[in-house]
Structures are given as structure tokens and as C-alpha cells.
A and B are shown apart, each in its own frame.
Chain A
């Protein structure tokens, strides 16, 4: 242990800790900007590029960045000297001198860390007017907008993209004033191996990276004469409340349904319904593969960023992911066939809007494989944050809304579908159904605790009818790569693997309210989902009466011909570089 003092208070911390770590232990606040540590997923951005965290050390002339300076024995640190505070101020003033400062109309307005620190320091004038490094905005993708004029070069996006996701698209290009974060050869995002997971924008402190905003498209749809159907992903209901100052992890399903109805959607349905359907199809596919000597392991395919990742990085293994479409895409396909038929409508008369915790879903919805003729299964995707914007724009008093129920027939769901939103949830839901399908017996304890939690890779062996089923679960694409490489080299013996691109699964999606470096938020959202699961009478997807009805009336056999046509898809080999 290393002993030091900060502002005359003594503290002991393990060797290798930074001054910032030690200050945190003493509850002494040192402002930071570029720095971000997410211990749960081993994300550490300590580039010390902004220098906002500078502190003074007794006996030293120059100031030290607290986020990147390791402690040493007997150090005497002061965080509150005039010199340190003035330096911090100047640093922020200089950052603002190279920033557009159009906060009022910025996508990150109210959520920007640069804005916050400028407010905390009480900055009232741009002291150093001068040239601003400007770069063209990259609008090439369906998911992510890159406005590098707003970038402060903290490099969080690069750390996320390379160290955690191992996608390695974003890098620092050039030097000096012209330095910019971008892709190799300055390619627009849609020409790169970017998976559109959006975790770069989830950690971006400013408005340099943001989601493609589809709010006005949704308002236009609502005000058209088409029938507009909305569906909401499981993870949205445990995060939306945060945008309205409610406690983190609050379950706001009923209020969300009420708000969507007020906004003016013609039908408010639940992606959870399609999640139950996904389970029937996926469990049937898994059983089919196990019983007919098919390709194992089977990988889940709900996560569009993960799908694009393996299409680029493991294009030699396109036969192992499940061919199931993701739940919201299955939902879209059914809306425009089954539901349309029931309502006497044509597919073109219907607009399907998905509310997702995810920005990759925007890209996914535009994939040509996921459409029927000129009509996409899903027309518009908005994120949890965009839905919150719509609710605010419509002046709906969200917190005081009465709880409402989803519409039918596509609104009924079981507890199995709810847990889709947390890492491990899809495979847990699959097991609940596969167990009963394979054994014909009732599964009493439906909670598979070994598959839950924030560990990067989880493994479990489940005994079904004397057969050991080996399961793996991973979240974060770096962990996924690790698993896939084990499979490629023949060192793994799994039957089924669930992979989600984002930390914690969809609850940590890039379309969710920003966590600002506090991943304990994810645990609370996760608990919210498990709470909803426990509160449901039906907790196994195949018990959903509306799903049974759907197969009886329309689809026929699970994993059958019609199901294949509507609910399954194909993958494309893409370039690795």
C-alpha cells in the first residue's frame, strides 16, 4: 500500500493506483473530462489528453494529470490551489475556443460533459477566439452521425472500438490542429467494418458522435393516413424513466404504453411478443441441429451489431449463427402479413416503428434481406432517448401517467421474453423452452442464475434428459471474438452461445439514456427486467397463448416452411478490412 496525502488528508491505496483513484477514496472530487473507467467491462481511457484533472504536488513545479499519474509514497497533493484551478479553467477555455459552442441546438444538449464542466467552472466568455478545426459531418450510415468539429480528442471512442469491441475502426488520424478521430483512409462509416453497435457514442463526452435522429420521420408517419404500429424492446421499459428523473431501473412499462398511445400510434404492441416467437423458432432450430447432426454450436442472432461483426470478422463461419431474424424484425414481418390480413390491410398501408435501446437496429432495419419486395419489415427505428424526446416534445407528464396495457394480438408476452434485454437472457429463455420441448416435463426452477450477471464470458452445463448441454454467454464484441476464435480453432465444445455486442446486453445499448461512466446503472436496469419476469404468471415462451394461436392460425409448424419464409434470414460474407 502507498500512503499519501491529498488536501492534508491521509490515504493508503494499492500500488499502481492513480491520484484520481486515491482522491475518490477520500471523496475529494477532481473534475475530469477525457478520462473514463468502466471497471465492469475493463474499459480504461486514461489518455490524459485534456488535462482538466491537473493537481499540484508539493515540491514540484509542473502540474500533474490526476487520472494518469500513479501515486508514490509520501506524495503531498493539493487539488484546490489557485494554480490548479486556474490551469483547469484555461484548459476548458482553450477547448471551447476550438468548439462550435452551438449547445442549444446540439444533439447532446443537456447530456454533454464539456457543457457541464464549462457550467461548473462558471465560464462566461470565450477568451480565445480564433480558428476552429472543422470537418465535414459523416451522415453516411443509418445509425451514427459523426460531427468531428465537436470532438475534443478524448479518444474514448477509439478505446471502446479497439480495446473493448476489437472492431478497430476508429483511430486518431493526422497530427496537431488537424488531428481527427476517424476510420482508415477517412472512409465514411458505411464503408468500414463498423458494426454500428454505437458504444463509441455511448461514451462520447460531447456531440461529436450521436445517433441518427428519426423523430421527425415518426411524427410524419403518425400524421399520415397509414396505420402506424409501434413495438417496444424489453430493455426500453427499464431505462425510459431515467429520462424523466425517475429512479434508475424503474419499470415503466404501463406509463410507456400510455405515452405511446397519447403520441398517436394506432397500435401499441410489444417486441416481447416476437421475442417469445424467436424463442420457439430458436429452440426448435437448436433441437433440430442437435437431433439431426447439424452445425454446433448455434449462436444467437438477435443482436444486429454482433451479426455485422461476424459477417466481417468470421465470414468463414456464417453457418453457425441461428438463421432466426431478430425479434423486432420478426415482429415487422408478422405485422405486414398476419396482422395486415386480420385487419384487411395491405403491407403498404402499415408503417412499423420500433423503439429500441440500440442504434444498430436502425442499420438492421435497412438490410435488404429483411424486407418483402419494396416494403421493409420495419420502417423506422428510434432509440429509448428519441422516444423520450418525443414524449417531452408532446408535453406529456410521463411520471404521472396511468399504467396502460399493450394492444392485442401482438402485445401478449411471457417473462422469458422480458429477460432478452439482459446479457444471458436469450439463452435462459431458450433453455426454458428447449428443456420442456426435449423432455416433455415441466421445468420447475426457471431461473438459471449461472447465466446471469456482468461477467464478460459465462459458461454453464445444463443437464437435459441426461444430455449435457454446454452453454456460453458473452457481452461485448471483444469477448465474442475470444469465443469465436476458440470455436474456429476447435478448442471449444459448446452447443449454444448467446452474444450481445453491448455491455450488459441491450440494457447497456447505445440508444439508452447515457450512463456517464456509471455502470451500476446497468445492474439496476437488469434487476428491473428480472423483477418483471418474476411478476409474470407465464414465464416460458411456448406458454404464450397468442403465440400458440399464431402458429395454429397462420404459421403452421415451428421452424416450418412458412416460419422460414417470414422469420428466418441469411447472412452475407463481408470484407475484413
Chain B
């Protein structure tokens, strides 16, 4: 899925990244720290940002992409306005968290780690959030939903977007 990255709008952050690269380009193994810095600045690694990194460090863009896709800490899509985190820790998992994740994916028509094209929702599976007694737990932004069952998922999502039905057929 393509999300347009607006370099003009992000010019200030781009400059920050370029300064960081300039300062650290001689440090051995600097690619990962640079990727982390970039993700910190933009929230995700857009293609344009990875190209800036490749040029800045004078390494092939294929290498930048190869390294970035190897580590699960890096994400390639902007987070949605509402980030739905589903805890897949042991307790939640045993209590059916996988089913809930699948339901969220079905309703939104995107996979774990992805964002809806309108940038309203993203799904992030997480490990234990420390609320095992309330398993399974779903977080939407900072709101905690305890003891969630599959049937409730639709209503939870609906709270954040009235026209949630448009995803229904997906």
C-alpha cells in the first residue's frame, strides 16, 4: 500500500535527519541508529526517507531496505489516527487474542502492522501489556478494553469511526 510522503511538509524533520547523518556517518555500523532516528522523527520509514538515508550514508538503497525489513522494530507505514493494539501475550493468547486480532483484521481489511488507506486505523499486535488479569486486552490509543470477546470488536471500532461499515465487506 502506498502512502504519499510529503517531503515539503516534513522539511524540518528531514533537515534534522540529514544533520544526524552528517554527524554520525563515519561511525561504523551507523545504519541502524540512523534508521531508529528516522523512525523516531517520522513515526515510520517512508521510501523517500530511506532514499535520503542511502544517499546520506552513501550505501545502496537496497541495503537500507534489506536491513530495515530484517528488524521488526521498523515499520513502513504511518500509524493510523487510531492505533489498535492487541495483546498477544501468553494470558491473552490463551484467552483467544488471536481470534480478536483476526476479527479486527477482517473488519478493517488490513493485516497486523498495516494502516487503512484513509489513515484512520492501524493494527499493532503487542506482547504482554501487563494486564493479564483482564485478558484478553485490546488498547485503542490510550483506552483500555478488558475481557474483550470477538463480538464486541465491531462496537469498539465503531466508537472511533462512525462509518465503520464501509470496511465491512473486506
A residues at B contact (CB < 8 Å): 162, 168-175, 183-185, 577
A173 touching B66, Cβ below 8 Å: yes
Nearest B residue (CB) for A576: B55
Nearest A residue (CB) for B47: A185
Q: With A577-B51, A577-B55 given, is the CB distance from A175 to B60 under 8 Å?
A: no
Contacts of A173 in B (CB 8 A): 65-66, 69
Determine whether B157 belongs to the interface, using a CB cutoff of 8 Å to chain A: no
B residues at A contact (CB < 8 Å): 47, 50-51, 54-55, 60-66, 69-70, 72
Contacts of A184 in B (CB 8 A): 50, 60-62, 64-66
- Looking at A162, A169, A173, A577, which has the most chain B CB atoms within 10 Å of its CB? A577
- Minimum CB–CB distance from B114 to chain A (whole Å) comes to 15
Contacts of A170 in B (CB 8 A): 62
Q: With A162-B60, A168-B60, A185-B47 given, is the CB distance from A577 to B54 under 8 Å?
A: yes
A185 touching B65, Cβ below 8 Å: yes
- Minimum CB–CB distance from A177 to chain B (whole Å) comes to 13
Contacts of B55 in A (CB 8 A): 577
Beyond the given A168-B63, A175-B69, could you list 14 further A-B residue pairs with CB under 8 A, ordered by the A residue number? A162-B60, A162-B62, A168-B62, A169-B62, A170-B62, A171-B60, A172-B70, A173-B65, A175-B72, A184-B50, A184-B61, A184-B65, A185-B50, A577-B54
When A and B form their complex, which 3 residue pairs have the shortest distance between CB atoms, in order from nearest? A168-B60, A171-B66, A171-B62
- Minimum CB–CB distance from B42 to chain A (whole Å) comes to 16
Contacts of B69 in A (CB 8 A): 173-175
Q: Please report the C-alpha to C-alpha distance between residue A162 and residue B61 in the assembled complex, in whole angstroms.
A: 12
Tally of A-B residue pairs with Cβ under 8 A?
Answer: 37
Nearest A residue (CB) for B64: A184
Q: Select B65's contact among A162, A171, A175, beta carbons within 8 Å.
A: A171
Q: Please report the C-alpha to C-alpha distance between residue A169 and residue B65 in the assembled complex, in whole angstroms.
A: 11
Q: Please report the C-alpha to C-alpha distance between residue A98 and residue B69 in the assembled complex, in whole angstroms.
A: 21
Q: With A184-B50, A185-B47 given, is the CB distance from A577 to B66 under 8 Å?
A: no
Contacts of A183 in B (CB 8 A): 62
- Minimum CB–CB distance from B106 to chain A (whole Å) comes to 21
Contacts of B64 in A (CB 8 A): 184
- Minimum CB–CB distance from B76 to chain A (whole Å) comes to 9
Contacts of A185 in B (CB 8 A): 47, 50, 65
- Minimum CB–CB distance from B75 to chain A (whole Å) comes to 13
Q: Please report the C-alpha to C-alpha distance between residue A310 and residue B166 in the assembled complex, in whole angstroms.
A: 49
- Looking at B60, B62, B66, B72, which has the most chain A CB atoms within 10 Å of its CB? B62
Q: Please report the C-alpha to C-alpha distance between residue A172 and residue B62 in the assembled complex, in whole angstroms.
A: 8
- Minimum CB–CB distance from B15 to chain A (whole Å) comes to 20
Q: Please report the C-alpha to C-alpha distance between residue A172 and residue B63 in the assembled complex, in whole angstroms.
A: 8
Q: Please report the C-alpha to C-alpha distance between residue A257 and residue B36 in the assembled complex, in whole angstroms.
A: 61
A174 touching B60, Cβ below 8 Å: no
Q: Please report the C-alpha to C-alpha distance between residue A171 and residue B54 in the assembled complex, in whole angstroms.
A: 14
- Minimum CB–CB distance from A401 to chain B (whole Å) comes to 46
- Minimum CB–CB distance from A251 to chain B (whole Å) comes to 40
Nearest A residue (CB) for B71: A175
Contacts of B72 in A (CB 8 A): 175
Q: Please report the C-alpha to C-alpha distance between residue A173 and residue B62 in the assembled complex, in whole angstroms.
A: 9
Contacts of A168 in B (CB 8 A): 60, 62-63
- Minimum CB–CB distance from A167 to chain B (whole Å) comes to 9
Q: Please report the C-alpha to C-alpha distance between residue A172 and residue B66 in the assembled complex, in whole angstroms.
A: 6
Q: With A184-B50, A185-B47 given, is the CB distance from A577 to B61 under 8 Å?
A: yes
- Minimum CB–CB distance from B14 to chain A (whole Å) comes to 16
Contacts of B60 in A (CB 8 A): 162, 168, 171, 184
Q: Please report the C-alpha to C-alpha distance between residue A184 and residue B64 in the assembled complex, in whole angstroms.
A: 8
Contacts of B47 in A (CB 8 A): 185
- Looking at B51, B60, B63, B64, which has the most chain A CB atoms within 10 Å of its CB? B60
- Looking at A169, A172, A175, which has the most chain B CB atoms within 10 Å of its CB? A172
Contacts of B61 in A (CB 8 A): 184, 577
- Minimum CB–CB distance from B87 to chain A (whole Å) comes to 22
Contacts of B63 in A (CB 8 A): 168, 171
Q: Please report the C-alpha to C-alpha distance between residue A183 and residue B54 in the assembled complex, in whole angstroms.
A: 14
Contacts of B50 in A (CB 8 A): 184-185
Q: Please report the C-alpha to C-alpha distance between residue A329 and residue B51 in the assembled complex, in whole angstroms.
A: 35
A-B contact pairs, 23 of them (CB 8 A): A162-B60, A168-B60, A170-B62, A171-B60, A171-B65, A171-B66, A172-B66, A173-B66, A173-B69, A174-B69, A174-B70, A175-B69, A175-B70, A175-B72, A184-B50, A184-B61, A184-B65, A185-B47, A185-B50, A185-B65, A577-B51, A577-B55, A577-B61
- Minimum CB–CB distance from A289 to chain B (whole Å) comes to 33
Contacts of A169 in B (CB 8 A): 62
Contacts of B62 in A (CB 8 A): 162, 168-171, 183-184
Q: Please report the C-alpha to C-alpha distance between residue A293 and residue B130 in the assembled complex, in whole angstroms.
A: 77
Q: Please report the C-alpha to C-alpha distance between residue A274 and residue B169 in the assembled complex, in whole angstroms.
A: 61
- Minimum CB–CB distance from B70 to chain A (whole Å) comes to 5
